[in-house]
Amino acid sequence: MRALIVDDESRVRKAIRLLVHWEEHGITEVHEAKNGMEAMELIPQLRPHIVLLDMMMPLKNGMDLMEWMNEHTPSTKFLVISGHDDFDYVRSTLRYNGLDYILKPVDEEQINSAVAKAAGIWHSEEEERQAAQRQNVQVNEYRPAYSERLLSALIEDEHAQAQTMRRLQDDRIIPADITGISLGVLQVDVSDQALFQRFGNQWDLLMFALLNICNEFLQENSRGLAFRYPGVKNHIIFLMWGHPETRISLLEQINQGMENTLGRRMHFGLSSPGHSLDEIPKLYRQVNAVLGTRNLLEMNHYIHSAERPEDTGRFPQLPFSHTEDAWRLAVLSGQETVIREAVQAWTSDIRKSGRISPEMLKQWNRDIERFLTGLPYEISPSAADPLLAEYQQAAAEFTAPDPYRYRLHLQDWQDYWEELLLLMSRTLQSLKPEGGELIQDITSYIDHHYASDVSLYDLSAQFHVSREYVSRKFKQTHGINIPEYINRIRTAKAKVLLRSPDMKISKIAETVGFKNEKYFSLVFKKHEGLSPNDYRKASQSG
C-alpha cells in the first residue's frame, strides 16, 4: 500500500512519518506533499491508498483537497490531522467520507489506530471491488451466450415470449421501442473446407468472425443484431429493425464485407416485415422456406427475400416417377454401364428443367430412398428383410451431398445416386437361384407347362419372387411379355398338331391350352397370318 502525507509544515510531516508503524499496516511507500495543490498533482501519479492531510494549508487547503478527492479518487481513504478543533472542519470531513479527525499534537496510539482502521476498510473494499470485477468479467464473458440464449428462445419458446422480450429489453440487448422487424438467416456452407481451415478447423472461431462482420454493419446506427442459433449449427440469425426498405441493401453490404474479408459471398434469407417480436417463430419458418426454395442453378443470386419470391411456377418440379421405371430396369439388369447411363440421364433431365432447389434435392433423395428400400420387397418379399439390412449397412458408408451448399455440384449427386443403385444391384444378385438363372428356370417351367393355365401369380408362388419382378425381368430377357411368350409356344405346338387331318380344331385348341376355339383362332392368325383351317389346308396341299 501507498500513503501520502499532506502538510505545509515539514516538522509535522516528519513527526507523522516517525509515529506511524507503516509496515504493520501493510504500507510500503510513504510520500509527502506541502499543500493541497501539490497533492492534487501527485495523487493521479502515485495513486495513494491512504492520505493524511492538514486542514490549513496555502494554495489549496484541506477542504479543497477533500472535495477534489471525493470527485476524482473516491476510493482513497483519508484522515484529517489538524490543529483546529472546528465543527465545520469536522462536518466537512464526515461529508466527504473522511475516516477520522485527529487533533495536533499527534498521539502515536491514536494515529496508528486510525491508519489501521483506514487500511482495513481499504482492503475490505478492495476485495469487494475485485469480486465485482471478477463477476463483471464473467458476465461479459458469458453475456454473448446469455444474449444468444434469450434471442433463441424467441424462436423456440412461443409461450414464454413476453417474459423473454422483457428480459431482452431490460438487459438492453435490444431497444425497448422496436416496432417493425424482419428476420434474416445467413446459411454457412459446412462443406467449405478451405474457409474452415483458415480458422484452424475451429468452427466456433469461424462463426465468431462471421458474427463480428455481421454486427459491425448491423449495429451501425442500431439497425439490428446478429446471433448464433444453437438449434441449427450453421445458422446466423439477423434480427433487423428500422427502415425496412434498406434491409436487402444492408444484407448486400454485409455480403460485400464477407467477400472483402474472407473472399466469400454467402447466401442470406430475409423474411417479409413483421410488426412485433412475437412474430419471430413465423418469420423464421418463412425465411427457412425461402432458402429451401432458392434456385441453385442461379449461381450469382445471394439475397433471397420473401418479398421477392422466386418464380417457382415457371419451372415445375420434375417428379422422380419420371425416371423410376428406367432406374428399376437398370438395377435389375445388374449392368454397371446401364445403371450409370440411367442416373446420368436423370441428372441431365433435372438440369435441363431450369430449376433445382435444396428442397427439390431433399425430396428426390427421399423418393430415391423409398424406391431403393422397396425393391427387395418387389422382387422377393420373403427374403426382403435380410437383403435390405445388408444394403443399408453398406449404404451407411456413403453420405449424401449437402443440398444447401453455396454452389450446386450436380456431379456429386450423380456419383452418390450411382453408388446407391450399384450397391442395390449387387445386393439383389444374391437372389439368383442355385442351378441356373432365375429367368431361365422360369422359361423352362413355362416351356413344360404351357398347356396349363400359367399365370404371374403361379410363377411368383413357384419361384418366391414378386409378380412385378417376374414380369419386368422376363420382358427384359426375352423382349416380350409372358402371355405373348406362352401364345407363341402354343401356336408352335398347334402347327404340329394341325398336320394331322383327323384332329378337330377344338381339340387342338384345348390340347395346347386354349379353352376357347374362337380365341385360339384369333391368336393363331395373329402369329401365322392364316386361320388354323387355312393353315391346315396349306400344309396339306404343300
Among 145-154, 352-361, 523-532, where is mean pLDDT lowest? 145-154
Domain residue limits, the chain: 2-127, 174-310, 321-431, 438-541
Average pLDDT across the chain, whole number: 88
Rounded Cα gap, residues 77 and 319, in angstroms: 82
Buried residues in 251-260 as b, exposed as e (16+ CB within 10 A): beebbeebee
- Single-letter amino acid code for the residue at 301: H
Q: Averaged over 36-64, what is the pLDDT?
A: 93
pLDDT band at 303 (very low <50, low <70, confident <90, very high): very high
Among 77-81, 102-106, 370-374, 454-458, where is mean pLDDT lowest? 454-458
Q: Does the pLDDT of residue 432 top 60, yes or no?
A: no
Nearest residue to 157 (alpha-carbon basis) of 170, 168, 172:
168
- Single-letter amino acid code for the residue at 483: P
Q: Does the pLDDT of residue 423 top 80, yes or no?
A: yes
- Which CATH superfamily hosts domain 2-127? Response regulator (3.40.50.2300)
> Do residues 51 and 24 make contact, with C-beta atoms less than 8 angstroms apart?
no
pLDDT digits (tens, 9 = 90+) for 212-243: 999 999 888 788 889 998 888 899 999 988 88
Rounded Cα gap, residues 119 and 123, in angstroms: 6
Nearest residue to 431 (alpha-carbon basis) of 475, 390, 478, 480:
390
pLDDT band at 97 (very low <50, low <70, confident <90, very high): confident
Q: What is the largest CA-CA distance in the chain?
A: 162
Q: What distances in angstroms separate CA 409 from CA 358, 388, 404, 405, one per listed residue?
A: 12, 29, 11, 8
> Do residues 490 and 512 make contact, with C-beta atoms less than 8 angstroms apart?
yes
Q: Does the pLDDT of residue 460 top 80, yes or no?
A: no
Q: Averaged over 30-57, what is the pLDDT?
A: 94
Q: Averaged over 258-283, what is the pLDDT?
A: 91
pLDDT over 70 percentage in the chain: 94
Rounded Cα gap, residues 485 and 450, in angstroms: 9
Give the pairing type, strands 100-103 and 181-187: unpaired
pLDDT digits (tens, 9 = 90+) for 308-332: 766 555 556 789 999 998 898 888 8
Among 32-36, 57-61, 159-163, where is mean pLDDT lowest? 159-163
Rounded Cα gap, residues 349 and 413, in angstroms: 13
Q: Does the pLDDT of residue 81 top 50, yes or no?
A: yes
CB pairs under 8 A, 24+ apart, for 93-98? 93/66, 96/66, 96/67, 96/69, 96/70, 97/70, 98/66
Q: Does the pLDDT of residue 288 top 90, yes or no?
A: yes
Q: Which CATH number fits domain 438-541: 3.40.1160.10, 1.10.10.60, 1.10.630.10, 3.20.20.70?
A: 1.10.10.60
Angle separating helix axes 438-449 and 467-478, nearest 10 degrees: 90
Predicted pLDDT at 175: 78
Among 158-162, 342-346, 455-459, where is mean pLDDT lowest? 158-162
Q: Does the pLDDT of residue 434 top 50, yes or no?
A: no
Q: Does the pLDDT of residue 257 top 60, yes or no?
A: yes
Predicted pLDDT at 436: 42
Q: What distances in angstroms separate CA 535 from CA 386, 487, 519, 520, 538, one per listed residue?
A: 54, 17, 16, 13, 5
Predicted pLDDT at 143: 62
Q: Averaged over 39-58, what is the pLDDT?
A: 93
Q: Does the pLDDT of residue 384 top 60, yes or no?
A: yes
Q: Does the pLDDT of residue 379 top 90, yes or no?
A: no
> Do residues 2 and 25 make contact, with C-beta atoms less than 8 angstroms apart?
no
- Which CATH superfamily hosts domain 174-310? Reverse transcriptase/Diguanylate cyclase domain (3.30.70.270)
Predicted pLDDT at 242: 81
Q: Does the pLDDT of residue 3 top 90, yes or no?
A: yes
> Do residues 8 and 35 make contact, with C-beta atoms less than 8 angstroms apart?
yes
pLDDT band at 462 (very low <50, low <70, confident <90, very high): confident
Between 417 and 428, where is the model more confident? 417
Q: Please report where in the chains the cell 499543500 appears, as a residue.
A: 35
